[in-house]
Structure 1
Amino acid sequence: MSLVIATIWGILMVSVGVLDLAPFLTAALQRFMASTFKIGSISIDAHAVVSALVVIVAAYVITNVTSFVLNSELMPRLSMRALVANLQS
């Protein structure tokens, strides 16, 4: 799945570079980040929503990396029988 996303991202970046769309995309992104969504008396900045999504994605990535390191690198090196024997004595 991540290879597919990386491939699509690469194709998009090459297309943006070849077609010289970077200034237009930068201006559009700046306008979007400066926008505010209003529902009644409640207003939500787009910047706040994007920041929250970035935090969620970062937490997900950090959790997966930590899980991988613990499950595939650290746990196989621990001798669980020796730890259990030490706890019982």
Structure 2
Amino acid sequence: GGELAAMAGERMRPDGFTEVSGVCTRPDFRGQGYAAGLMAHVAGKILARGETPFLHSYADNAGANALYRALGFERRADVWFTVLAAE
């Protein structure tokens, strides 16, 4: 219907690595394999260039993290951040 259902792309590129980024699927399109297919495509292009794909995810995003593990990604480290805001 001409609407964006899902997307994935690349962002940061430190030497030898490329981040898989912007992975999201509209709620009414979830569960149809769109994110998995897009991630496999993006990661495959990264690997074909001889680079290593990586990504970031919130620890409490169970659905996304399960997909990432199923695609072969492994949890490497926890990163903590603080949001500062003017009151």
TM-score (norm 1): 0.29
Instruction: Select the structure with the greater relative contact order (CA < 8 A; seq sep ≥ 6).
Output: 2
Larger Rg: 1
Structure with the higher strand share, 1 or 2:
2
TM-score (norm 2): 0.29
Structure with the higher helix share, 1 or 2:
1
